[in-house]
Amino acid sequence: MTDLAGTVAAAAGVFAGTNIDDLIVLTVLFLAASTAGKPRPWQIWVGQYAGIGALVAIAGAAALGLTLLPDRWVGLLGLIPLALGVRGLIAAVRSPGDAAPPVASGLVSVAAVTMANGADNIAVYTPVFRTIGVVDTLITIAVFAVLVAVWCLAASWLGGHRRVIVLLGRFGHWLVPLVFVAIGLVILSGLF
């Protein structure tokens, strides 16, 4: 029996942790849509869904491939997000300034930006999907689908508030690595 509330909460945490940077990119895209007319808002929405969908599909396929890995070693996959988090923290210490996210001009480029920005998503989703089972994975994917809409709505709203972008840009480079470290430690805790 699955713990629905726990699965939903965990899925929301994983999505938020791996997509804080994407929220910044989406906010910039919605700013561009309102100021330059490109990309159009519908292109941002569809491109975001296409990009996240592709990332989830790749992670799901990778998780299926990992079924060959003995269950007792699955927890070691937590080293991937942990390493990404530590690397991100080191980069944040070395270079506290944040690079400007890329701006896309249409549906395909929005999807491409989402996917290019999503290597961390694959690295985190793969061990999560491998460890939680089929039912919880399906619930997690459904939560991700809902949260993509929430992210787009939030970014659209934030796109009208430049001060918020500055704030996210200032602290986002710390927040994302810390979340990855936490996710990695949770997956590694399955070893003990």
Hunting for tokens 């709203």 — which residue is that?
Answer: 157
Report the distance separating Cα 13 and Cα 19, nearest Å: 10
Segment 115-164, tens digit of pLDDT:
777 767 888 898 889 888 889 999 999 999 999 999 999 999 987 776 76
Report the distance separating Cα 54 and Cα 70, nearest Å: 27
Q: Domain locations in the chain?
A: 4-191
State mean pLDDT over 61-77.
68
Band (pLDDT 50/70/90 cuts) for residue 36 is confident
Cβ atoms 124, 183 nearer than 8 A:
yes
Tell me the residue ranges of DSSP E strands in the chain: none
Look up the pTM and report it: 0.71
Report the distance separating Cα 54 and Cα 162, nearest Å: 30
Band (pLDDT 50/70/90 cuts) for residue 191 is low
